[in-house]
Structure 1
């Protein structure tokens, strides 16, 4: 946290930002401000306050000269606005003229506060000045980035760190965080506000990205404190997505410093995910582990599919890290991440096996979770578990209709789902995007018998009107992926998908469609090596999964077979 704070503090301007933050810090330290920042210094003083010094627990007057950046030769003693000149003014003019007489009996601490450090070649001058001008009643101190970050961490990890327009939204986020149904709307609005305006200057771009990362870290800390990391999971997803949209829409992706800043946000998201997994993974070994956290069997099923998506994305993030390190030829490090992904995938296998609702998706949009989970299982060599799960899913699809007269609702609607389960409404057999996903993964897994089982279920007379569909993205919708439910209003839909008797015929059709429709492979997020963000966007916004993410393996398998 202190590292994040120091990065943020380093980017603050002297007037209106750094001095305001120091004023808020003093208030948090229970100091009473005598004079606040204003245009033009008053005899070298930017801020004056009265309070207890945390160093020796004595009541003192604090007089601040606020400067921006490092204390260098030129800023120390170069002109009338230099630090030395300000200190002389404070000693010679402010203390005898402007300091209230009622405060004259208190010892004084004069503080030079900057968002930097004292350069090595100025340390001797600084030390000599202190030695020559310190008295029994006047002492000097330096608050640089390190000192400010430490005090901010201890006294002011709250909304006061931020500009006024952000404070209300962050305050509301933290106030509502422990409510079970809180949807983080204020945090999402805060991110929209942070990224609402584009900048060309490096400093401003860095400031926006670091501010977003700091907000996420505060959300993470508070989520940890209330023992519920799910808000941090959702917040990290939105932060990554909005950050990427900000960078792509502003044409910043080709700037070298940008990739470093974004990667820090991405790593924070990964850290939150790993922390969440470490906290809950033991529950995956217990049968019906989620039922105790659900009010009824329906909620049990919905919670389970939600959890499958979270686990899968955490595991796929580890796969992404593996790819990054492998590309950089850091093979030993890359194996650490692959082993981590394998451990998460193994836990997912246990979770699916121990919770029967994993055979019965409630909504057709649970194809999102199925696609993510199968991707992770296939990439970690859990192919047998993947085959068993696909078999259970397609058998469950048929059984659910014959027993309960229902199939996964094509449009998610909780009230309608309840009515159908209670027998108050009939379930229409209309469309399915889940079944093509299952069939195509059967092809990836080279299991002709499994493909045939899926095809025969679809051929059942009761499913003769079932319209199999698959969604494809278009080039023009690339930026909208990171802002909303992209597949709801954009993209192309292939309907009346046919599962041919000959598996190879379907494979050939897929390969030709990869060439024609798989535009996502040309998206900048993929070209920049962050294709995992497509999974994040799909799960977070409930957008359809991107077919190329699994279909590319069908093409690769074909090449391998020839």
Structure 2
């Protein structure tokens, strides 16, 4: 496992990766962090400052000033630019120590540590040794924290035997080794997170397990990016976001220090999720999204089912990532807001392009594909571009009713791949009624058509539902008071399934959209969930999409004129 960690450290970037990992590692090892990395502004050469035992001075309490560099430090990295190691060390000596060192630590010995994911190359080791000999004093020393030392500290502190037992290490190693086999890699990573989650309480040990999760995730993502395979890293990031939020949600805000630490971990995991999502959706898939059948062909399967499932999965990821940027953009301002809204619009364009050139997205195979369709409609409405996707909902409705009438590969509530691969077993009434006994997609489509004012498509679909599907239970799912305690990690669907009435007692059709609005008004337990209270609504959408939980009607796109 040390080799895996060592290789990952070697490839970590200076900004956003090593400078995030190091403070977490030092904090876990008992150091007091007195200076965190900052973006923008002068840092006088110091990326991280910490107070604690100097391992190279028999554990003497010292202040350690870290100058962080990525990879190996070669000749160009030593003295080639203003950001190289030697100029940075000069800034530490000339500016940070005399002017910025906190007053209460001025009596402590100072250790300036050059920290890197790789090592100092032999070609400049003589220059490094000469610099150290000239500048060292009784109270000032220089240290080399290379990738090998960092790997040892990680393994002894955060991923050590006492914290990551052999069974857990086995899951971790398999997740990394099988990163090019996404399903197996994700399965092992999920087993690792489930095992760690059992020990995440409200104490400091629980925070340690969270840091374990974050570093394991970093290693997995790094190996996935190196292998140019984003599937397992993306799914792992999505699951890790839910685990990190659940740990933060359970930590009482009165425990300010632990709460702040867990919030910082959630921010880092979210940042990693956005990074992987951007690379996956915009950089890898984006250039091909508008090419006719390109993404369908990229599935590399002769099975129409495989293509359908893969394309709906991809569209849902694009829509969900776009909604994350939408909500963050709407809660910020200035340049940051513009960047988030720009990315949101690019993701919507990507999803629309997919729909236009991949006909399989017009014919959902599973009832839970209402999640992806619902996220897309909600994103379009948030962007003020609902008119760009209303034709999509109409066409889905037309094909839906046609397949029900002709009994040709109709939508079913089955989710097991083997059942879907055999579907339909036959065209008889018994199997048809069994495979269409309940649906969330049908009421979603009916309500959506009504809200779009698509009266022709609405009438046609209502006629088919009345004539071909009188046995079907149309329903919605809404959270209950217990949902917040179980949805994030395990995805248990504890909540209320509410059947919908399509006709009143006199047999006259009712407004399904109005009935759903009434349910939304009555079922307000969703507003008691901490994610919603803290403005992190996309967290609940992420849980629904990742765990395949029906999208609550509170997230169905609103009637025209209402905002999301």
TM-score of the superposed pair, with normalisation by structure 2: 0.71
From 140, 158, 163, give the equivalent of 2:160: 163
Aligned to 1:316: 323
SS at match of 1:469: strand
State the shift of 1:118 in Å.
8.6
* Residues 470, 497 of structure 1: 8 Å contact kept: no
Q: Distance in 1 between matches of 2:410 and 2:387?
A: 26
* Residues 169, 189 of structure 1: 8 Å contact kept: yes
1:306 aligns with 2:302: no
Rate the CA distance shift 1:463–1:200 in 2: closer, same or farther, 3 A: closer
Aligned to 1:272: 276
State the shift of 1:236 in Å.
0.8
From 545, 555, 560, give the equivalent of 1:549: 555
Q: Distance in 1 between matches of 2:464 and 2:407?
A: 16
From 515, 532, 538, give the equivalent of 1:526: 532
Q: Please provide the CA RMSD for this pair.
A: 3.9
State the shift of 1:67 in Å.
5.5
Deviates more, 1:208-217 or 1:477-486: 208-217
* Residues 394, 454 of structure 2: 8 Å contact kept: no
State the shift of 1:366 in Å.
1.3
Aligned to 1:380: 383
Aligned to 1:405: 408
Q: Distance in 1 between matches of 2:61 and 2:403?
A: 67
* Residues 154, 160 of structure 2: 8 Å contact kept: no
Deviations 1:140-178 (A, max 9, x none): 99576xx53x53599779977622225333222111222
* Residues 366, 411 of structure 2: 8 Å contact kept: yes
Rate the CA distance shift 1:393–1:186 in 2: closer, same or farther, 3 A: same
From 411, 425, 433, give the equivalent of 2:440: 433
Structure 2 counterparts to residues 34-73 of structure 1, below 5 A:
65-66=58-59, 70=63
Q: Distance in 2 between matches of 1:475 and 1:384?
A: 36
* Residues 209, 261 of structure 1: 8 Å contact kept: yes
Aligned to 1:370: 373
Q: Distance in 2 between matches of 1:332 and 1:417?
A: 47
SS at match of 1:218: helix
Aligned to 2:498: 494
Q: Distance in 1 between matches of 2:54 and 2:345?
A: 59
Aligned to 2:119: none
Aligned to 1:212: 213
Rate the CA distance shift 1:157–1:445 in 2: closer, same or farther, 3 A: farther
* Residues 64, 111 of structure 2: 8 Å contact kept: no
1:284 aligns with 2:289: yes
1:8 aligns with 2:24: yes
SS at match of 2:403: helix
Deviations 1:26-72 (A, max 9, x none): xxxxxxxxxxxxxxxxxx997xxxxxxxxxxxxxxxx7634677359
Q: Distance in 1 between matches of 2:64 and 2:350?
A: 53
Rate the CA distance shift 1:457–1:384 in 2: closer, same or farther, 3 A: farther
* Residues 241, 269 of structure 2: 8 Å contact kept: yes
* Residues 294, 303 of structure 1: 8 Å contact kept: no
SS at match of 2:277: helix
Q: Distance in 1 between matches of 2:153 and 2:290?
A: 37
SS at match of 2:446: helix
Deviates more, 1:492-501 or 1:373-382: 492-501
Structure 2 counterparts to residues 411-430 of structure 1, below 5 A:
411-421=414-424, 423=426, 426-428=431-433, 429-430=436-437
Aligned to 2:3: none
1:151 aligns with 2:156: no
Deviates more, 1:359-368 or 1:247-256: 247-256
State the shift of 1:525 in Å.
0.6
Aligned to 2:106: 121
Q: Which runs of 5+ in 1 are unaligned?
A: 16-43, 47-62, 73-116
Q: Which runs of 5+ in 2 are unaligned?
A: 1-16, 32-52, 66-99, 113-128
Rate the CA distance shift 1:207–1:401 in 2: closer, same or farther, 3 A: same
Count of aligned pairs between the two proteins:
454
Deviations 1:84-105 (A, max 9, x none): xxxxxxxxxxxxxxxxxxxxxx
State the shift of 1:188 in Å.
1.8
Rate the CA distance shift 1:505–1:305 in 2: closer, same or farther, 3 A: closer
* Residues 311, 361 of structure 2: 8 Å contact kept: yes
SS at match of 1:493: strand
Q: Distance in 2 between matches of 1:315 and 1:283?
A: 18
From 535, 538, 546, give the equivalent of 2:541: 535
* Residues 316, 376 of structure 1: 8 Å contact kept: yes
SS at match of 2:106: helix
1:458 aligns with 2:465: yes
Larger Rg: 1
* Residues 178, 184 of structure 2: 8 Å contact kept: yes
Rate the CA distance shift 1:523–1:253 in 2: closer, same or farther, 3 A: farther
Aligned to 1:234: 235
Q: Distance in 2 between matches of 1:6 and 1:559?
A: 43
Aligned to 2:352: 349
Deviates more, 1:252-261 or 1:380-389: 252-261
* Residues 394, 457 of structure 1: 8 Å contact kept: no
State the shift of 1:480 in Å.
0.6
Deviations 1:184-220 (A, max 9, x none): 222223223433334555x656544443222222111
Rate the CA distance shift 1:183–1:402 in 2: closer, same or farther, 3 A: farther
State the shift of 1:356 in Å.
0.9
Rate the CA distance shift 1:207–1:463 in 2: closer, same or farther, 3 A: same
TM-score of the superposed pair, with normalisation by structure 1: 0.71
